[in-house]
Each structure stands twice: as structure tokens, then as C-alpha cells.
Amino acid sequence: MSAAYQVGEKVRVSARGHRGHHRVPLYIKGRAGVVERMLGEERNPETLAYGENGMPRVPVYQVRFDQQALWPGYQGGGQDCLIVDIHEHWLEPGAEQ
């Protein structure tokens, strides 16, 4: 599988509902960020959790989110950010920041 996103690309975390085990924090669903790094590919932990083999492998990215955009009333500096490892199937292209 090849990576769908490149370093520096704007993305949005899908806000879709998902029953059962999933590996994306609720507080970043629907939020826009920027790809910082491609970490490689790994077996899908969401299917591994239910006894499947986790194949095919899924690209994993580090995505940067601005703290002020994540937390209403955030009092920290404007450069503060949070970096989260996210599997590709939770990302959508072309998010506006």
C-alpha cells in the first residue's frame, strides 16, 4: 500500500461514528491538522483487536494539531501543538485550517 498523504499536507480526521475498538482519540475527530511525518505501515489494530490478521497493512502518520484549535479557551502560546499518530483510514484530504 502506498501513502495517500505527504509531509506538509493538510488533512482532517474523520468524524464518522465507529462501534467497537478504534485508535483515534475522540477529541481530534473532525479536526484539521498537518502531516508531519510518515511512520511506515503496520497491521490494522482495529481488526487485530477482533482476532483478524490486520491485513492489509495501513500507513501511519504523525499529524500536528494546533492546541488553540483543539481546546476552546486554551491559554498557552500560539505555537503550541499536539502531534498524534493516526492510521490513514481515519484521514480525509484537503482540510482548511
- CATH of residue 81's domain is 2.30.30.50
Residue 27 counted as domain residue? yes
Residue 59 lies in a domain: yes
Residue 16's domain comprises: 10-93
Q: What predicted TM-score, i.e. pTM, was given to this entire model?
A: 0.88
Note whether residue 2 is domain-resident: no
Contacts 24+ apart (CB under 8 A), 63-67: 63/11, 63/13, 63/33, 63/34, 63/35, 63/36, 63/91, 64/33, 64/34, 64/35, 64/36, 65/28, 65/31, 65/32, 65/33, 66/97
Query: Residue 96's pLDDT band (boundaries 50, 70, 90)?
Result: low
Per-residue model confidence (pLDDT) at position 58: 94
* pLDDT band for position 18 (cuts 50, 70, 90): confident
Per-residue pLDDT tens digits for 55-87? 999 999 999 999 998 998 999 888 999 999 999
What pLDDT is attached to residue 92? 95
Domain total in the chain: 1
